[in-house]
């Protein structure tokens, strides 16, 4: 259960938590809408909004006349850091990141030095290697890659803004990797390709291309979490 936020957010987190921790196993039928209303003290429109969101993520499917069934689950519970209120907050943070990191990439391409390029390459290499054996590996390297780009702007305000949302970024990356049904090899190829596109544009000094590549990457990351997209 979330600590703050709307009732819709709290019900969503509670049902998602039940899927993730195995209370509702893959293939099982969720309680009926009326039962969920009673369990969570929520109206039927709220329950239907939550179920629609879970369907959009590919976590459940609804069968006419039968109910909603669990399609997939993660291997561990989703635990919110103390300063993260809800999944809705994570989703809002993605929108902020699209704007913030797009501009970070733009100015990094204009202002990067050889030291900045080396830092990006180092984080990219660690991230790529960590993904080879563990789909939840490389989170710190992933964050480090994006932080290296913020630092390459040589604008402390970009760096401070990015570091201020560190816990949200870590949480979003971990949730994405927990919930994805995509095979590890395919997922790694997609992530490495997206990150490489950003890095290469920055190294080449192509600022507009770097911005587009970063916005594309963050948008796809958001969609993998909240729309159930596999690529």
Q: Which domain does 181 fall in, by range?
A: 87-226
Residue 81 forms part of a structural domain:
no
Residues 52 and 91 placed together within one structural domain of the fold: no
Residues 220 and 135 placed together within one structural domain of the fold: yes
Residue 154 forms part of a structural domain:
yes
Residues 115 and 19 placed together within one structural domain of the fold: no
| Residues 175-206: tens digit of each pLDDT | 776 666 667 678 788 999 999 999 999 999 99
Residues 65 and 150 placed together within one structural domain of the fold: no
Cβ–Cβ under 8 Å, residues 171 and 81:
yes
CA 75, 8, 56 angle in degrees (round to 5)?
55
Residues 65 and 91 placed together within one structural domain of the fold: no
Residue 37 forms part of a structural domain:
yes
Residues 60 and 140 placed together within one structural domain of the fold: no
Residues 111 and 204 placed together within one structural domain of the fold: yes
- Give the pLDDT confidence score for residue 65 in this predicted structure: 82
Sign, CA torsion 161/125/92/103: positive
| Residues 148-184: tens digit of each pLDDT | 999 999 999 999 999 999 888 887 777 776 666 667 6
Among the residue ranges 40-54, 108-122, 134-148, 194-208, the one predicted with the least confidence is 134-148
């Amino acid at each position: 259960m979330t600590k703050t936020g709307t009732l819709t957010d709290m019900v969503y987190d509670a049902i998602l938590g039940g899927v993730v921790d195995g209370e509702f196993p893959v293939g099982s039928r969720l309680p009926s809408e009326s039962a969920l209303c009673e369990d969570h003290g929520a109206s039927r429109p709220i329950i239907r909004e939550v179920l629609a969101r879970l369907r959009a993520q590919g976590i459940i499917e609804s069968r006419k006349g039968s109910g909603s069934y669990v399609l997939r689950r993660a291997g561990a519970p989703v635990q919110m850091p103390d300063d993260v209120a809800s999944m809705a907050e994570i989703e809002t943070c993605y929108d902020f990141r699209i704007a913030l990191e797009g501009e970070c990439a733009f100015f990094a391409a204009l202002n990067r030095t050889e030291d900045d390029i080396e830092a990006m390459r180092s984080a990219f290499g660690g991230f790529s290697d960590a993904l080879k054996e563990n789909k939840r590996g490389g989170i710190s390297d992933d964050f480090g890659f994006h932080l290296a780009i913020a630092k390459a702007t040589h604008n402390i305000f970009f760096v401070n803004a990015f570091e201020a949302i560190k816990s949200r970024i870590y949480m979003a990356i971990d949730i994405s990797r927990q919930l994805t049904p995509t095979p590890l090899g395919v997922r790694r190829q997609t992530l490495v390709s997206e990150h490489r596109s950003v890095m290469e544009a920055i190294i080449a000094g192509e600022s507009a291309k770097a911005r587009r590549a970063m916005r594309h990457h963050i948008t796809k990351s958001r969609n993998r979490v909240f729309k159930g997209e596999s690529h």
